Structure 1
């Protein structure tokens, strides 16, 4: 009887998970994409989670940030082909420029405030295809950009699936700001926005004040953080605690396959030059959070805003525990995660076979 009861309980749980009440979370991946830095790694994980039906990845929307959107198009189109999801997950090109911030101001910020990593601002925007760098395994052979812009796709997806769409925002927030400004009626229909961005209690990584994603377009960040939506933020405060190092790399490349081989090609030379090479972990954290919220071990409810006055604090993230400025919204800001559990799941996902076989 006890065994029969356990069987019935398991069957009921399975049926509930398969029901519409437990449908996979619908996700838009808004990204300043690259081959295999943080955005590229996050996409590999998201594509595998999509194949496992743990999320429904509606599409990838591109925004200038790490690189100009033109280079990101090349890398993203190859990425969906590499993972074998090009027919299911469209790539939508978005904002090429921030709302106000521009490349001409960067030298002044560098001289006045000590600005570091400039992303796309390190070079003028490409004007021809021969200025773009192919991915290490070649260009996409048959996949093209979807006809809608990133802003159109965000608006249409949220309206098509009211209260169901999570926007995973791991780059500058220009696309989302434009969607909110163009169609403010979508705000109450967004399920939540999960971010990699900001530096709340630590210095920035682009200027002493500002984290790169939100520094690149502070005005957009302010627009997106202020609507009454559920906000979950992974700032540099947690990302700089989670280190990708040789131990993680060796776990990945011990497996043969398309993605481990890509790690060998892109990251192998870094470890060959310096066995102690390491990097922080950014976009993979909020990507895995979508299916494993229990990974978060420490968080605070803060009212988050952005300094948009040009000066040494331009792009600074501001977190208030009480007496917040008028118009700000409360956000869940993550400060700690279960690192062992994170790396175990991360390695499992990036070492699964690709192109993906539906599971």
Structure 2
């Protein structure tokens, strides 16, 4: 079989010609998940039709609270559904050391005004796909638990979606949870394996453009937020603030005059401190906002097609995403794997969208 194919993912407008694509978001909010939601809320070409809360960075009830609180801050009305409180087969592990005790670092959100849907997150996936057949973009920035459960309810779900983007895995690259495993996949390896296997079986070979887009650490760690870039975001929002520095006291709170910028800065400070303590510098990798941007514009990233699977039983390698670049398994490619991105292009777009949007809230 031939080697990896450098590919472009098809882009199609909605069936009704609308420029605002319906998007369903599955998150374990999380600092960078919150940044991803802010990006989507700020995007005129996106219409969030539902949010699934997944246990991951923090327990599922805290994820629900974070999602509702962020929507309240932004004055947005989006259905939020509670997902499973545990992975398919393993005990839940959470990451308060990375994201803070409530998932958003030092940030404090307003009291949640909204209520959760009376159906769970797996049902929400299916409902959104049936309501927008062939148009819905699916985005997962947490463990794949809810999506796996949704595909059990509706095996045709892959055929109902226009596109699926997954932030997860690490391809020919070190892990951030174990030496070889990325967090989202490591939390629930069984759901990752199930989604990648069932998705490709549902499509077969007739629509290769509908392979999921998978963005691993090999790609997303190129998107490094810094205090300088964060200051550009505040300026674009017209918000007075004090630039952050590694010399600041731990836990210093944002002085931003804009409410959204203040939340994002307080969240990012915790994230900066975590990455600094890991020896990576006073910066933060924005894995999930990149996935949100790619969900709306796949051309932001360069891809290679490959067959991927998740190791489930290895003593040292459980949760590892393995890419068969050369066809050793004799199976057709089941994913577009992100392999190249221009961080400057991404950050320019992020600031151009989120800055003016924040200004409307302040």
Distance 1:68 1:19 in 2: 37
Deviations 1:12-71 (A, max 9, x none): xxxxx898235432211001113xx1100000011111xx2x122111101111111011
For residue 294 of structure 1, the aligned residue among 295, 299, 323 is 299
Contact map agreement 2:163 2:295 (CA 8 A) in 1: no
- Shift of residue 271, structure 1, vs aligned partner: 6.8
**RMSD (CA atoms):** 2.8
Q: Does 1:283 align with 2:301?
A: no
Deviations 1:113-137 (A, max 9, x none): xxxxx52598xxxxxxxx9689844
Q: Name segments (4+ residues, structure 1) moved above 6 Å.
A: 131-135, 269-274
Give matches, 1:65-214, under 5 Å. Answer: 65-86=56-77, 89-103=78-92, 118-119=93-94, 136-214=107-185
Equivalent position SS for 1:184:
coil
Distance change in 2, residues 1:26/1:38 (3 Å): same
Distance change in 2, residues 1:133/1:213 (3 Å): closer
Q: Who wins on radius of gyration, i.e. which is larger?
A: 1
Q: Which residue of 2 aligns with 1:40?
A: 34
Distance change in 2, residues 1:262/1:330 (3 Å): same
For residue 312 of structure 2, the aligned residue among 305, 308, 315 is 308
Distance 2:27 2:270 in 1: 25
Q: TM-score, normalised by structure 2?
A: 0.78
Structure 1: runs of 5 or more not aligned: 1-16, 104-117, 123-130
For residue 225 of structure 1, the aligned residue among 196, 217, 241 is 196
Contact map agreement 1:253 1:263 (CA 8 A) in 2: no
Structure 2: runs of 5 or more not aligned: 1-12, 201-209, 240-257
For residue 227 of structure 2, the aligned residue among 234, 246, 249 is 246
Equivalent position SS for 1:283:
helix
Contact map agreement 1:304 1:320 (CA 8 A) in 2: yes
Contact map agreement 1:305 1:328 (CA 8 A) in 2: no
Distance change in 2, residues 1:197/1:272 (3 Å): closer
Q: TM-score, normalised by structure 1?
A: 0.79
Equivalent position SS for 1:208:
coil
Contact map agreement 2:36 2:288 (CA 8 A) in 1: yes
Distance 1:284 1:133 in 2: 16
With a CA cutoff of 8 Å and minimum separation of 6, indicate the structure with the bigger relative contact order: 2
Q: Which residue of 2 aligns with 1:259?
A: 260
